[in-house]
Structure formats: C-alpha cells, structure tokens
Amino acid sequence: MLSKCANPDCSERFLYMRDGKLFRFDPPDHQPGMPEFSGTGKKAPGRTEYFWLCRNCATVLTLISIKGLGVVPRPLRQAKAAAS
Ligand SMILES: [Zn+2]
C-alpha cells in the first residue's frame, strides 16, 4: 500500500519517512447513533490508511478523502485558496 508516491503520475518510491509528507486517513466508521462497544479493548472496525507524497509532490499536492472516490491528490494551491 505505502510503497510509492500517492500521486498516480509519479513513480517515486517510498524509502525514507523523513522525505515527503505522510497522510493519515481514518475510516468513517463512527456512525451517529451507533452504540460504542466498551470493555472489549478493541478499536472500531475499519482500517486507518496511510498515504505518502514524495518531497517533490508534497510541495504542490495535498491529499484529500472524498466519499465514494477514496483518497485523491489535489493541487496544494487550490486547497489553500479555498481555505483562505
Ligand atoms: Zn511524487
């Protein structure tokens, strides 16, 4: 899974944690109204997924999670413009 850059157009391989940028996406399994099971010590089902952007891509891209699409790269400039 975490073997290469999350940018499909980039073939940079994941070698060093210190390079690039690591993204963590938690599964949307906390449904409202669902009673939480306590006492089992088990975490909620679903898997936290990790994605990595290489150093080059991390300067121009970010990753966002879109329902139905999954995690997709998005231009950083665009994301910043939308936030400000
Ligand atoms: Zn890359």
Mean pLDDT of 33-50: 63
The mean per-residue pLDDT over the stretch 5-15 comes to 93
Q: Which of 44, 46, 52, 1 is nearest to 24 (CA)?
A: 52
Q: Is residue 30 a part of any domain in this protein?
A: yes
Of 9, 7, 18, the C-alpha closest to 61 is 7
Residue 36 lies in domain? 21-83
Centroid of ligand 1 to alpha carbon of 12 (angstroms): 5
13: in domain = no
CA of 33 to the centre of ligand 1 (A): 40
| Mean pLDDT, rounded, of the chain | 80
67 belongs to a structural domain: yes
Would you say residue 8 lies in a domain?
no
Between 11 and 83, name the one with better pLDDT.
Answer: 11
Report yes or no on 7 lying in a domain. no
- Measure 77 CA to ligand 1 centroid, in angstroms: 16
The answer to whether 26 and 48 are in contact (CB under 8 A) is yes
**Does any domain span residue 12?**
no
Between the CA of 58 and the centroid of ligand 1 the distance, in Å, is 7
Domain presence at residue 48: yes
Instruction: State yes or no: pLDDT of 6 exceeds 60.
Output: yes
**In the chain, how many domains are there?**
1
Mean pLDDT, rounded, for 14-20: 83
Confidence of residue 4 (pLDDT cuts 50, 70, 90): very high
